[in-house]
Each structure stands twice: as C-alpha cells, then as structure tokens.
Amino acid sequence: MTFTEAAKNKLFQIAKSSIEAGLEGKKYNPEPDPELEGKYGVFVTLKINDQLRGCIGYIQPIKPLYQAVSEMAYAAAFSDPRFPPVTKEEVKRLRFEITILSPLERIHDINQIEVGKHGLFIKKGVFQGLLLPQVAIEENWDRMTFLRHTCLKAGLPEDGWHDAEIYTFTGTILKE
C-alpha cells in the first residue's frame, strides 16, 4: 500500500480534527476523498514524548479509510481504557502514527512469523488480542516473546497460542 504525501497529510489532518472536535464535545465528519475511499483495517496510535497515550483500531476493513481514521483517532484519544481522556493541554504535544493493515492471514506454524514484518492477532473463544508489527521492534522482542505478549494482550496465558487461532498481517506505518 502506498499513499501520496497529500493523502498522508490528509489522514493526519483528519485524525487531529477528530480529536479537536471531540474536545469541544462535537463529532468530526471528514469529507469523502477518492484517494482515501479504500477499506482497510487501521489503527491510530497517539504518543507524547515517545510514550504511548492511546491506540485503538479496526482489525477488519469495514469502513473507508478516511472515516476509519477519524473514528479511531477519536477512540484512541477518548476511549482507550488504559488512559484517561486526552486533555486540551495535551493535544498540541500529541504525535500520530497510523498503521494501515493488510488482510489477516491465518498461520499454522509459528515459524512463519517474521518479527519486524508481521503483526499478530490471536483468537481463542471470546479472547482475542492484537499487537502491531512495530511493537516487537520497539520492544526488541524475538518471535516467542512477541507471541507470548500477544497472548497476554488477549487475556490468555503466555502459552495460550498452542490451541488458538494465530493470524499475521503487515502494516503500512505512517508517522507524523
């Protein structure tokens, strides 16, 4: 997936506008953009001083990209249960990362997982967890550590992957 600089800038503008509207108690409705009409899974990550401040996304490609980015930026800012809502004081310091996901691909051999290339999605019954491809790199994890942490994110024991469905995906990472 490749996007023009104009499209990337538009996605960051949409994310920022969505959060700014949310701070005013409003909902931002971005204008449709032909270049951003494609449907993709997408995660919006918010950071302040390189520290995670929120991250939420759609795993499946259910909405046009421009709309999904708007909704997930809002959710990352105001609905990530790990953090309090973003404040007006914080908004100027936010740095945005948008990860556009490839379709999920189920694997049956963990040796197919390539750290630095793949993100992981694990599902077992009602439990599911996802870690983006860049997380393993940022944390300097090997394949097994990445797998264990994805299990923990899903609410499973570290070795819960043995009888779970494991999916890989790649991500196009846009950084501000």
Cα→Cα distances 126→22, 83, 112, 156, 164, Å: 31, 24, 25, 10, 11
pLDDT for residue 151 is more than 80: yes
Average pLDDT over residues 133-157: 97
What single letter denotes the amino acid at residue 34? P
pLDDT of amino acid 39: 96
- Helix 5-23 and helix 65-78, axial crossing angle in degrees, nearest 10: 40
Percentage above 70 pLDDT, the chain: 100
* pLDDT confidence tier of residue 139, bands split at 50, 70 and 90: very high
CB 100 within 8 Å of CB 69: no
Q: What is the pTM of this model?
A: 0.91
**Which structural domains are found in the chain, ordered by start?**
5-101 (3.30.700.20), 105-170 (3.30.1490.150)
Q: What is the pLDDT of residue 1?
A: 74
